[in-house]
Amino acid sequence: MRFLTAAAAALLLMSCQGDRSPAVIEPKVAPILDAPDAVDIHSYAKPLEARVTHLDLDLAVDFAAKRIGGTATLDIQAKPGVREVVLDDKGLEIEAIVDETGRPLPFKVGPKDENLGAPLTIEMGDKRKIVITYKSAPDAGALQWLTPEQTAGKKHPYLLSQGQSIENRAWIPTQDSPGIRQTWSAHIAVPAELTAVMSAPKWDEPDPTPPPPNMKSFGFRMANPVAPYLIAIAVGDLAFRELGPRTGVWTEPAMLDRAAAELADTEKMVDAAEALYGPYQWGRYDMLVLPPSFPFGGMENPTLTFLTPTFIAGDKSLTSLIAHELAHSWSGNLATNATWADFWLNEGMTTYAERRIVEEIYGPKVAAQQVALGLDAMNKAIEENGGATGPDTRLHIDLKGRHPDDGLTDIAYEKGAAFLRTIETIVGRERFDEWLKGWFERHQFEPVTTSIFLADIREHLVKGDKELEDRLMLDQWVYQPGIPSNIARADPQAFAAVDAAVAAFGAGTLPDAAAWQAWTTDERLRFLNRIDRTQPADRLAALDRAFNLSRAGNNELRFAFLTLVVANRFDPAVPALEEFLTMQGRRKFVRPLITSLAEDKEWGLPIAVRVYARARAGYHPVTTRDLDKLGLLKRGK
C-alpha cells in the first residue's frame, strides 16, 4: 500500500514535469516536490534533474586519523538526457569517482560557502550508478571524536555523529536535503574491541571488503526512504539492554543500569503513540545514551534515538524528551519538512504529539503543566526574536543567506505546538486526532511543506466550513509574526500552588521546604522560571542553601538556577557554574550561559573566557560553531 502510494506520487510528479517518456519507477522511491516553496536553498542538489535514490556506504573508522573513509555507491534517477548529478560536499577528500564498471567519471568541486559547503558535480553521462572513494576531513562538523578520558569507561575512544540539519555532507557524499529521501545501507569497519551502531536495522549481508583481523565490520540497512540528515553513527565500547519487546538501550557499560532505569517507560510510550498516530513503521525503537558532549537533548535518528545523558535525573522526571524523539517517528521521519524553512512542521507537530503521549503515560495534569511551561517558553522566544512583529516569529521562516539552525528557536517548537493545540481546542479532540493520524498516513515517507499542510487541513478537516475557516486563522498562524488572538490559553490552574509560592517569594518568603520536596520537577521549573529575573545575592544564597540548586542532580533545574546566577552576578555559585559548563556540552545549556557571561563585559566575560578555554575541547563542533563566534579565545579557537 505504502509503496503504491509512493510510486503513484512519483508518476504524478513525472507527469507534472511534462515528461512524457515512460518512467521506470523503482519501488519505494519517494517523490521530489516541484513547487517553488519546496526548493531547498541549503543544498546544491538539483533533484528535479537528477536525484539519489539509494546510498550504500562501505567505510572504515580511523580513530588515529579522525577520519571515516571508503566508498559511497549512489543510485541515481535522472530525467532522460541528463548527464550530470550535483551532490553536497563539505570538506570531503575525494580520491576517485567511477561508474559501476570502474571507469573514471570527471567531477569538480565548486566554490565553498561557509555554511553550505560546496557543490560536487559529477559528469555521469548515461550512467546511473556512481562509486565515490573518499575520506571525511578530521574537522568534519558532523563528527565528534572523543578520547578515552572523555568517555564514562575511560578506556576506549568514541565517535558520534549529528546530521541535522546540514552536517552529514561532511562525511557522506550525497544530496543532503530533507526533501530528497533515500534508502541506504552500510558496512562499517571499526577496531575489533568496539561496537558500531547506526540509525537503521542490522543487516547480515557480508561486508564486500572484509576487514583485517584487528577490525570488525557491522552491517545496516534502511529499507524505508529517509531524509539524509537522519543517517547517524556512533562507535564506542557499547552495551545493550532490552527494555521491552521492541525497545532497548545502548550505552557504555558503566551507564547501562542508570540509563535502563530512566527509560523504563519507553515501551508504553511506543504503544501510546501508535494508538494516537497509527502503526510504528520502523521496526525497533532503541535508544543510544551518549557521552555528555552530545550537543542536543535528543535526536530522532530512525530506529535509534540519540540521547544526552543529562536527561537522567534518577526519577524519570525528564523523560518527556523520549516522548518527543519518539513522536518524530511520525512527525519528521514519516512526514518530513521538505526544506528547513518549514522546520516547524517537524518540531511543532512533534512537541504537540510529545505532550499527548505524556498525557497518556503520566496523566492530564502533568501534560497541562508541560503545555503551560511551553507557552512561557513561546512567549520568551517571541521577546527574543523581535517581539510581535519580528519576522523570525513566523512559523514559515525566511532563511535566505542564513544557516538553517538560525530557525532552531522555540518559535518552531512552541508556537507550532500552540497552533496545533488551538486547532484541537476549536474542532474538538476527536476530530483533530483523526485528522492528524490521517495526515501521517497521507504523507508517510514524503516531504511536506507549509502549503501542503494548509491544503491538507482545508481538504480533510475544514471541508469548506466558512465559519470554521474564519475561527482557525490558519494563514495568520503560519505566515504572520506574533501570536494570533485565538490561541488556546494554558490552564490557569495548572500551577496554582506554585504560582502562589512565586508571589510569596516576591514578597520575601522562601517556599516551604516540605512543599518544595513535594513539588515535581516541572513545578520547580515553573518556580525558578517565574520568579523575578533580578534577585539579590542573599535571596539566591537562601534558595541555593535550602534546595541545593547550583549543584542539582537534575540538570534542567540546575540550568534554570544557573541562569539566575549569571543574570545576578552571584559569585558563590561560579565554581558550580564552571563545573556545569565543563562536564557536559548540551548546546541548549552551554550556549545561553556562556553567551550571557560574555555579554556581561565586566563580571561575566573573564569567566566566559576562562571556562570556554577549558571546556571547548569537550564540546561537539555543532556547539563550538556558534560559541566560537563570540570571539572568546584568540585565533578563533
Return the residue of 46, 156, 316, 324 that touches ligand BES, per CB under 6 A: 324
87, three cell numbers: 551532490
Does residue 132 bind ligand BES (CB under 6 A)?
A: no
Q: In angstroms, give the least distance from the CB of 327 to ligand BES.
A: 9
412 exposed, middle or buried (CB, 10 Å; 0-12, 13-18, 19+)?
buried
| CB-nearest residue to ligand BES | 297
Does residue 53 bind ligand BES (CB under 6 A)?
A: no
Closest C-alpha to 162, from 345, 288, 65: 288
* Minimum CB distance to ligand BES smaller for 296 or for 559: 296
Q: Which does 405 bind (CB under 5 to 8 A by kind): ligand BES, Zn ion, none?
A: ligand BES
* Minimum CB distance to Zn ion smaller for 408 or for 577: 408
* Minimum CB distance to ligand BES smaller for 54 or for 328: 328
Does residue 355 bind ligand BES (CB under 6 A)?
A: no
Q: For strand 93-99 and strand 239-244, is the pairing parallel, antiparallel, or unpaired?
A: unpaired
What stretch of H or E contains 224? Answer: strand 215-226
Binding residues among 397-456 for ligand BES as defined by CB under 6 A? 405, 408, 413
Q: How many angstroms separate the Cα of 256 from the Cα of each of 191, 237, 269?
A: 22, 12, 20
563, three cell numbers: 541562569
Does residue 325 bind ligand BES (CB under 6 A)?
A: yes
The answer to whether 50 and 78 are in contact (CB under 8 A) is yes
The answer to whether 57 and 188 are in contact (CB under 8 A) is yes
Q: In angstroms, give the least distance from the CB of 347 to Zn ion.
A: 5
Residues 565 and 551: their CA atoms lie apart, in Å, by 12
Residue 146, classed as helix, strand or coil, is: strand
Residues 481 and 468: their CA atoms lie apart, in Å, by 22
Q: Which does 183 bind (CB under 5 to 8 A by kind): ligand BES, Zn ion, none?
A: none
Does residue 164 bind ligand BES (CB under 6 A)?
A: yes
Active site residue 252: no
Q: How far apart are the first and last CA of the chain?
A: 52
* Minimum CB distance to Zn ion smaller for 77 or for 350: 350
The answer to whether 530 and 376 are in contact (CB under 8 A) is yes
213 exposed, middle or buried (CB, 10 Å; 0-12, 13-18, 19+)?
exposed
| CB neighbour list of residue 178: distance below 8 Å, 6 or more residues apart | 40, 165, 227, 228, 229, 336, 337, 338, 339, 340, 447
Interhelix angle 587-599/604-615, nearest 10 degrees? 140
Q: Is 85 left (phi over 0), alpha (psi -120 to 50) or beta?
A: beta
Q: In angstroms, give the least distance from the CB of 524 to Zn ion.
A: 24
397, three cell numbers: 521562516
Q: How many angstroms separate the Cα of 80 from the Cα of each of 48, 99, 160?
A: 11, 18, 40
Does residue 347 bind ligand BES (CB under 6 A)?
A: yes
Active site residue 149: no
Q: In angstroms, give the least distance from the CB of 305 to ligand BES.
A: 9
* Minimum CB distance to ligand BES smaller for 299 or for 338: 299
* Minimum CB distance to Zn ion smaller for 396 or for 530: 396
* Minimum CB distance to Zn ion smaller for 350 or for 521: 350
Q: In angstroms, give the least distance from the CB of 325 to ligand BES.
A: 6
Does residue 328 bind ligand BES (CB under 6 A)?
A: yes
Query: Within a 10 A sphere around the Cβ of 79, how many other Cβ atoms?
Result: 15
Q: Which does 299 bind (CB under 5 to 8 A by kind): ligand BES, Zn ion, none?
A: ligand BES
Return the residue of 69, 297, 374, 618 that touches ligand BES, per CB under 6 A: 297
Return the residue of 63, 296, 432, 519 that touches ligand BES, per CB under 6 A: 296
| CB neighbour list of residue 109: distance below 8 Å, 6 or more residues apart | 89, 94, 118, 119, 120, 121
* Minimum CB distance to ligand BES smaller for 408 or for 473: 408
Q: In angstroms, give the least distance from the CB of 181 to ligand BES.
A: 17
Does residue 224 bind ligand BES (CB under 6 A)?
A: no
Does residue 171 bind ligand BES (CB under 6 A)?
A: no
Does residue 321 bind ligand BES (CB under 6 A)?
A: yes
Return the residue of 40, 56, 58, 300 that touches ligand BES, per CB under 6 A: 300
Piece of 195-203, 297-305, 385-393, 569-577 that binds ligand BES (CB under 6 A): 297-305
Residues that bind ligand BES (rule: CB under 6 A) add up to a total of 16
Residues 97 and 132: their CA atoms lie apart, in Å, by 4
* Minimum CB distance to ligand BES smaller for 76 or for 321: 321
Q: Using CB under 5 A as the criterion, which residues of the chain lie in contact with Zn ion when the complex forms? A: 347, 350
Peptide bond into 185 cis (omega under 30): no
Q: For strand 304-307 and strand 298-299, is the pairing parallel, antiparallel, or unpaired?
A: antiparallel
Return the residue of 128, 458, 588, 591 that touches ligand BES, per CB under 6 A: 588
The answer to whether 511 and 501 are in contact (CB under 8 A) is yes
Interhelix angle 364-384/343-362, nearest 10 degrees? 150
**Out of 262, 325, 414, 556, which one is annotated catalytic?**
325
Does residue 38 bind ligand BES (CB under 6 A)?
A: no
Q: In angstroms, give the least distance from the CB of 299 to Zn ion.
A: 8
**Out of 158, 413, 612, 619, which one is annotated catalytic?**
413
Q: In angstroms, give the least distance from the CB of 474 to Zn ion.
A: 23
Q: Which does 588 bind (CB under 5 to 8 A by kind): Zn ion, ligand BES, none?
A: ligand BES
* Minimum CB distance to ligand BES smaller for 75 or for 262: 262
Q: In angstroms, give the least distance from the CB of 94 to ligand BES.
A: 26
Q: Indicate which residues carry an active-site annotation.
A: 325, 413
Residues of this chain that interact with ligand BES (CB under 6 A) are 164-165, 296-300, 321, 324-325, 328, 347, 405, 408, 413, 588
